[in-house]
């Protein structure tokens, strides 16, 4: 079956209540077009995991699509906080399991290796651990190291149903290049049941085969390939385009307030039929060209 599909079809493969892991970090390489389409299709009751909470997760939470968030904290860098995530935690409408960046990464790593659990030095002595023990006792435990007899904190593997990853380029099978730092994306994809890849460009397999050392995601783990230029807007994709400060500021102003965020969604999610209309709405070709990355700087 061909893997290259439209965004709508890829998103429709996600069931209500699924656990999805998202590729964003703060305001970089966020699966924004994907999040907008999840909201348009009305997919709900999701569990979302992410090493550091980002704009894609925050938007899904703000739209009421998420029941449970497993993350290592997060922000929109200097633009602001994850206001929707924070508001949902404060009002108790979101079950948030808060870790550190490395502890979520280690949980993905354990998942990617098929290990039963993974020891970690982080979290001990913190209230993060105290809260995790209260909330989800089964995901953290201690064991004795059989070699040294030292007691270790151990974490359960984290195995999302679907990884959703925004990449620079891939081929039709989903063999994907991620340029720049990959944060948790490698372990996330390999821990997950399958991956949806959203690429700025789908390139010929021959091009991938010429430089296979750039591949981070093997196509054999990928169920859907979606070619979607500017799919991470208003966040950045390294070597492709910069973040759109004005649109992020607009998002931040709407965040955390039910009415203001609803108006934001009405304008940018429900008010447009698809990604193409969204790109027109945010300024079309001229605006997008102004965000294009300088090839030397990467932004």
Partner 1 sequence: MEYTPSELMAVSGARELGDGQVVAVGVGLPMVASLLAKRTHAPDMAIVFEIGVIDSEPVHTGVGLADPRVWYRATVLSSFVDILGTLLHRGRVDVGFLGGLEVDRYGNLNTTLIGDPKGEFRHMVGSGGANDIASCAKKTVYIMRHEPRKLRESVSFITSPGYVGGGKAREEAGLAGGPSCVITDKAIFGFHPESKRMSIRSIHPGNTLEDVIETMGFKPEIPDTVPFTEAPSPEQLRLIREEIDPGRIYVG
Per CB under 8 A, which region of 7-15, 144-152, 193-201, 222-230 contacts partner 1? 144-152
Q: Does 208 bind partner 1 (CB under 8 A)?
A: no
Greatest distance between any 2 Cα atoms in the chain? 63
Give the span between the Cα atoms of 22 and 175, in whole angstroms.
18
Residues counted in the chain: 299
Q: Considering only residues 9, 42, 45, 90, which one is a binding residue for partner 1 as defined by CB under 8 A?
A: 90
> Which of 85, 197 has the CB closer to partner 1?
85
Instruction: Mark 161-180 with x for binding to partner 1 (rule: CB under 8 A) and - for no binding.
Output: -------------------x
**DSSP conformational letter for 261:** H
Task: Report how many residues bind partner 1 under the rule CB under 8 A.
Answer: 61
Q: Which is nearer to partner 1, 52 or 65 (CB)?
A: 52
* Beta carbons within 8 Å of 93's beta carbon, 6+ residues apart: 64
Which of 133, 151, 246, 258 contacts partner 1 by CB under 8 A?
151
Burial of 12 (0-12, 13-18, 19+ CB in 10 A): middle
Task: Restricting to residues 48-67, name those near partner 1 by CB under 8 A.
Answer: 51-54
Binding mask 108-137 for partner 1 (x = CB under 8 A): -x----------xxxxxxxxx--x------
**Neighbour-count burial for 42-63, b at 16+ CB within 10 Å, e otherwise:** ebeebbbbbbbbbbbbbbbbbb
Please provide the DSSP assignment of 214-257 as one string. GEEE-GGGEEEEEE-TTTTTTSBBTTTB---HHHHHHHHHHTT-
> Least CB distance from residue 63 to partner 1, whole Å?
18
Integer CA distances (angstroms), 299 to 24, 179, 291, in order: 17, 12, 8
**Least distance CB 133 / partner 1 (angstroms):** 14
Choose the stretch contacting partner 1; rule: CB under 8 A; options: 57-65, 100-108, 168-176, 198-206: 100-108
CB of 148 or CB of 206, closer to partner 1: 148
Return residues touching partner 1 (CB under 8 A): 25-28, 51-54, 71-75, 77-79, 81, 85-86, 89-90, 98-103, 105-106, 109, 120-128, 131, 150-153, 180-187, 235-236, 238, 242-243, 293, 297-299
């Amino acid at each position: 079956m061909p893997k290259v599909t439209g965004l709508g079809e890829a998103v429709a493969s996600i069931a209500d209540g699924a656990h999805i892991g998202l590729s964003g970090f703060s305001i970089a390489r966020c699966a924004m077009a994907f999040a907008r389409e999840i909201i348009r299709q009305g997919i709900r009751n999701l569990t979302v995991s992410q090493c550091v909470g980002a704009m894609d997760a925050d938007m899904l939470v703000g739209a009421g699509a998420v029941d449970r968030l497993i993350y290592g904290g997060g922000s929109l860098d200097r633009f602001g906080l994850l206001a929707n995530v924070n508001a949902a935690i404060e009002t108790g409408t979101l079950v948030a399991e808060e870790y550190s960046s490395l502890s979520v990464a280690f949980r993905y790593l354990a998942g990617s290796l098929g290990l039963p659990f993974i020891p970690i030095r982080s979290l001990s002595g913190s209230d993060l651990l105290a809260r995790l023990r209260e909330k989800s006792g089964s995901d953290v435990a201690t064991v004795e190291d059989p070699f040294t007899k030292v007691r270790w904190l151990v974490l359960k593997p984290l195995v999302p149903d679907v990884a959703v990853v925004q990449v620079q380029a891939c081929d039709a099978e989903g063999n994907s290049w991620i340029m720049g730092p990959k944060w948790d994306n490698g372990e996330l994809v390999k821990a997950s049941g399958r991956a949806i890849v959203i690429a700025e460009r789908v390139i010929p397999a021959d091009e991938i085969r010429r430089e296979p050392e750039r591949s981070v995601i093997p196509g054999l783990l990928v169920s859907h390939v979606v070619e979607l230029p500017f799919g991470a807007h208003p966040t950045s994709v390294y070597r492709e385009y910069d973040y759109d400060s004005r649109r992020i500021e607009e998002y931040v102003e709407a965040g955390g307030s039910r009415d203001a965020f609803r108006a934001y969604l009405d304008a940018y999610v429900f008010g447009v039929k698809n990604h193409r209309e969204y790109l027109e709405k945010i300024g079309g070709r001229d605006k997008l060209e102004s965000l294009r990355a300088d090839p030397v700087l990467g932004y």
